Amino acid sequence: MKQFQTIDLTPLMNHKFVYEKVPENGDDSGLDGTYILKEDFKFCREERINGADFCFHYGDSDNVLCEGQRIPINSSAKKIHVIGFAYWEDICEYLRLIGIDGKEILVRIGLPDLTHAADSHVFYREQYKQYDISTAKILLSSGRVKQLIYFHHCVCDVQNGGIIREIVLPDNMFMHIFAITLERESEETD
């Protein structure tokens, strides 16, 4: 049986994309003036997406703009589930998993641009064939440009399991991560 462990990203959140009301600095808010109002953000704080549990956080910041942040884990995982999107381009990067023995495992993660749906042509490109990517939700943005925003669910397989001491996010400021969840089989123990 699958067991899910949501990861609290609150200490790492360094970017705001969801606003309670129209921000005073509109064109500088969110991503080049594109943002989502809280009333239109259809993710619940705790939500099940494609069978995996996730936890979303709101406040001064609501997502991690990836800059090589380190997430302490101290847990095992067979898969890592990520909700997020890329901005300006489709991105393929690596999560660095550091084991308790100090060994490093690289796990590829693909996050398509926020303007691409899961069934768009981008998912048929060679670079995305190895990924399990789906569109988690489609929301309408507010601000300078009104457009559909596609939040993606990427499932990353972890080879050579074991206890993961920490996850090191890519150093790519165009990757925005809203939630991370670890998946393992329930008979595993930490």
- Using the predicted structure, report yes or no on whether residue 188 has a pLDDT greater than 80: no
Q: For residue 30, is it within any domain? A: yes
Number of domains present in the structure of the chain:
1
Q: Residue 149: which domain range? A: 2-185
Buried b (16+ CB within 10 A) or exposed e, 64-97: bbbeebebebeebbebbbbbbbbbeebbbbbbbb
29 or 125: which leads in pLDDT? 29
CA distance 143 to 133: 28
DSSP, collapsed to helix, strand or coil, labels residue 126 as: helix
User: How much is the pTM?
Assistant: 0.92
For 57-94, the pLDDT digits (tens) are 988 999 999 999 999 999 999 999 999 999 998 888 99
Q: What letter would DSSP give residue 86? A: E
Q: Which residues contact 65 (CB under 8 A, 6 or more apart)?
A: 14, 15, 173, 175, 176
Q: For residue 163, is it within any domain? A: yes
Q: For residue 25, is it within any domain? A: yes
Q: For residue 58, is it within any domain? A: yes
Q: For residue 124, is it within any domain? A: yes
Q: For residue 190, is it within any domain? A: no
Cα 3 off chain centre by:
19
Determine how β-strand 79-86 pairs with β-strand 175-185. Answer: antiparallel
Question: Are the beta carbons of 118 and 105 closer than 8 angstroms?
Answer: no
